[in-house]
């Protein structure tokens, strides 16, 4: 067929990656021969384009504009360079990358395109955690930063996360910058990427930036009682940096999971490299049990998230992101001055608000994502329930799983020195602030349209009750709500103060449901039990609604 698949052939002609170019050329040849499967595959690769949004880019590796590849990343780099040059005459950028497939390749492509465009460019010296890149944006006073990572996504994915310096102080991009960058990328994509100027005139940073990150992060910790703890970087890039921080903070060397210690883009021991997923922490929990540890901790592959498990009366128990957030928030409130501010995403537990009220501190709810949390004015501590914690805003304006680990280790050490434990401290929290419980339903879909259908169903037929508990009102964020910008979010307020929030995931093909309840009746254990029972009722009710 003359003229068929010209767009696909044009993409293949400019693709510098032999693997994706061969995939594409093979599919084109098969499609031209009438292979329906190849035609369908090409349609998937080319029917749409990975959207550049407030998380930058993230998607599956492969050819075409609907996948992560060197052509798409080069277009993104060219567009971002044009955007930066439109903002200031001599912009600068620092670029980092993790251990995923093609992360270093994408980072180096970005460096040569940025340098070719006249942007002063610094490339971090090797694969490093995302928090180190976020720190480096401010450390180098850069105009912007790029981190090539897909964080905790499946092994087949990669991503491209953008930070802005200057007035944005090293935070992730938010509107309208994301749309402005997207427009610049689309303009660049009108021409082949080999027309982009390139230069190797960029700087590879030395270890001083990592050393300074380690020094400042270690200063958060203290160890009045020795701790035994197990650690895993979950096949990611956290170990080298975390190890140095733990040693400098006085916590010594953790027991590690050797199978997960070094970066491995295949993530062979976990179904999903996300500490939240069932089974992901099995190996580190086994190691912790083997040595009789005080704690088990895990970072996700780019080390911006932290998971914690403790030995409890019923065996090893992984703490929820909200529980870790409450305890670190309580700790932050005690050391904050009168002008301290606590913040959390709207889907995180109301428990942190109770802490702020107790200490007469300001509190701010934000939309999900640290791009919003990090921008709370005067922030002392912020978190979101998806294992993200910002404990040191003076150093990094993003979630940081290594600094959060240091802060939590210091808390555990202080408790141990007084004869207490983290488990007892959770009961003390309930006694002081109320018993809070949270739950989450995460519905993974194969067809993203299913998420839209479920959200539309809830809007067209809003429930009068959930799990036998009456609905008092529903906040719909679709056109904006109060001070919040528009978002595909429903917040359901129920009798007794419980709530349910439903939204699509911003990074994975999932519909997420967040359930929260609280109780102030009885002692700490009774309060937690009562709140937990309400969460269970609401969980069952939401599963029935969404079935």
Domain boundaries, the chain: 1-44, 48-206, 211-432, 435-546
Predicted confidence band at 280 (pLDDT cuts at 50, 70, 90)? Answer: very high
pLDDT on residue 69: 98
Task: Compute CA 441 distance to the chain's CA centroid, rounded to the nearest angstrom.
Answer: 18
Look up 320 and say whether it is catalytic: no
Residue from 151, 348, 518, 519 carrying the catalytic annotation: 151
Q: Can you give the pTM of this predicted structure? A: 0.94
* Residue in this structure with the two tokens 């910790």, named with its chain if needed: 221
- On the question of pLDDT at 431 being above 80, the answer is yes
Q: What is the CATH number of domain 211-432?
A: 3.40.120.10
Average pLDDT for 362-388: 95
Predicted confidence band at 1 (pLDDT cuts at 50, 70, 90)? Answer: very low
How far is residue 206's CA from residue 146's CA, in Å, rounded to a whole number?
18
What is the distance between the terminal CA atoms of the chain, rounded to a whole angstrom?
46
Which of 287-293's residues contact partners 24+ apart within 8 Å by CB, and which partners? 287/230, 287/232, 287/255, 287/256, 287/257, 288/229, 288/230, 288/255, 288/316, 289/316, 290/255, 291/228, 291/230, 291/255, 292/228, 293/228, 293/229, 293/230, 293/255
pLDDT on residue 2: 45
* Residue in this structure with the two tokens 């207490």, named with its chain if needed: 420
pLDDT on residue 506: 73
Average pLDDT, the chain: 95
- On the question of pLDDT at 305 being above 50, the answer is yes
pLDDT of 486-514, one tens digit each? Answer: 889 999 999 999 999 999 987 678 899 99
**Do 48-206 and 435-546 agree at the fold level?**
no
* DSSP 8-state code for residue 484: B
pLDDT on residue 285: 98
Question: Cβ contacts of residue 33 below 8 Å, gap of 6+?
Answer: none
Average pLDDT for 24-38: 97
pLDDT of 324-336, one tens digit each? Answer: 999 999 999 999 9
Q: Decide which of 505 and 247 is more confident.
A: 247
The architecture CATH gives domain 435-546: 2-Layer Sandwich (3.30)
What are phi and psi for residue 239, nearest 5 degrees?
-60, -50
Average pLDDT for 394-412: 97
Query: 177-181, 314-318, 445-449, 536-540: lowest mean pLDDT where?
Result: 445-449
Domain 48-206 superfamily per CATH: Alpha-D-Glucose-1,6-Bisphosphate, subunit A, domain 3 (3.40.120.10)
Average pLDDT for 256-269: 97
Other beta carbons within 10 angstroms of residue 476's beta carbon come to 16
Average pLDDT for 412-429: 97
Predicted confidence band at 258 (pLDDT cuts at 50, 70, 90)? Answer: very high
- On the question of pLDDT at 195 being above 50, the answer is yes
Task: Give the SS3 label for residue 452.
Answer: helix
Q: Edge-to-edge, what's the strand order for the sheet holding 435-444?
A: 435-444, 510-519, 499-504, 490-494, 469-476, 465-466
Residues 353 and 364 sit within 8 Å (Cβ to Cβ): no
- On the question of pLDDT at 380 being above 60, the answer is yes
Single out the residue of 110, 117, 116 nearest to residue 96, CA to CA. 110
pLDDT of 122-173, one tens digit each? Answer: 999 999 999 999 999 999 999 999 999 999 999 999 999 999 999 999 999 9
Residues 76 and 109 sit within 8 Å (Cβ to Cβ): no
Q: Is 521 exposed, middle or buried (0-12, 13-18, 19+ CB in 10 A)?
A: exposed
- On the question of pLDDT at 393 being above 90, the answer is yes
């Amino acid at each position: 067929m003359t003229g068929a698949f010209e767009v696909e052939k044009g993409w293949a002609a400019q693709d510098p990656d032999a693997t994706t170019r061969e995939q594409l050329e093979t599919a084109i040849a098969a499609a031209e021969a009438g292979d329906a499967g190849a035609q369908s595959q090409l349609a998937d690769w080319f029917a749409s384009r990975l959207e550049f949004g407030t998380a930058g880019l993230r998607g599956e590796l492969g050819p075409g504009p609907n996948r992560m590849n060197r052509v798409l990343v080069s277009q993104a780099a060219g567009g971002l360079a044009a955007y930066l040059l439109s903002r200031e005459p001599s912009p600068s950028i620092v670029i980092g990358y993790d251990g995923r497939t093609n992360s270093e390749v994408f980072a180096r492509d970005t460096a040569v395109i940025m340098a070719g465009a006249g942007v002063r460019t610094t490339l971090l010296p090797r694969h490093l955690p995302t928090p180190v890149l976020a720190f480096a944006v401010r450390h180098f006073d850069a105009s912007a930063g790029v981190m090539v990572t897909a964080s905790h996504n499946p092994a087949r994915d990669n991503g491209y996360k953008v930070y802005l310096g200057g007035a944005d102080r090293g935070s992730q991009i938010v509107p309208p910058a994301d749309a402005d960058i997207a427009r610049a990328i689309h303009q660049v994509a009108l021409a082949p990427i080999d027309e982009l100027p390139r230069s190797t005139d960029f700087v590879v940073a030395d270890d001083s930036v990592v050393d300074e990150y380690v020094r400042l992060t270690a200063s958060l910790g203290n160890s009045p009682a020795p701790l035994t703890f197990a650690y895993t970087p979950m096949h990611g890039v956290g170990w080298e940096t975390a190890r140095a921080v733990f040693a400098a903070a006085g916590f010594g060397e953790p027991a590690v999971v050797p199978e997960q210690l070094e970066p491995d883009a295949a993530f062979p021991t976990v179904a999903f490299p996300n500490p939240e997923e069932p089974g992901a922490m099995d190996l580190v929990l086994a190691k912790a049990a083997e040595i009789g540890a005080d704690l088990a901790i895990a970072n996700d592959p780019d080390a911006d998230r932290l998971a914690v498990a403790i030995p409890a009366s019923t065996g090893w128990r992984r703490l929820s992101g909200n529980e870790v957030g409450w305890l670190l928030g309580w700790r932050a409130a005690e050391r904050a001055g009168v002008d301290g501010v606590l913040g959390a995403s709207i889907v995180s537990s109301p428990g942190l608000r109770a802490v702020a009220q107790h200490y007469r501190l300001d509190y701010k709810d934000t939309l999900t994502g640290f791009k919003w949390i990090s921008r709370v004015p005067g922030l002392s501590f912020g978190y979101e329930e998806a294992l993200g914690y910002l404990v040191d805003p003076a150093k990094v304006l993003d979630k940081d799983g290594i600094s959060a680990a240091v802060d939590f280790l210091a808390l555990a050490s202080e408790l141990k020195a007084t004869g207490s434990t983290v488990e007892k401290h959770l009961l003390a929290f309930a006694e002081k602030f109320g018993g809070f419980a949270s739950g989450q339903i995460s519905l993974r879909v194969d067809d993203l349209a299913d998420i839209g259908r479920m959200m539309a169903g809830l809007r067209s037929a809003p429930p009068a009750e959930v799990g036998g508990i009456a609905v008092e009102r529903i906040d719909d964020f679709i056109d904006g709500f109060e001070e919040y910008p528009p978002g595909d979010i429903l917040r359901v307020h129920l009798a007794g103060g419980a709530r349910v929030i439903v939204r699509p995931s911003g990074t994975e093909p999932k519909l997420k449901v967040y359930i929260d309840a609280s109780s102030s009746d009885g002692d700490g254990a009774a309060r937690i039990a009562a709140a937990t029972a309400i969460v269970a009722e609401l969980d069952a009710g939401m599963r029935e609604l969404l079935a």
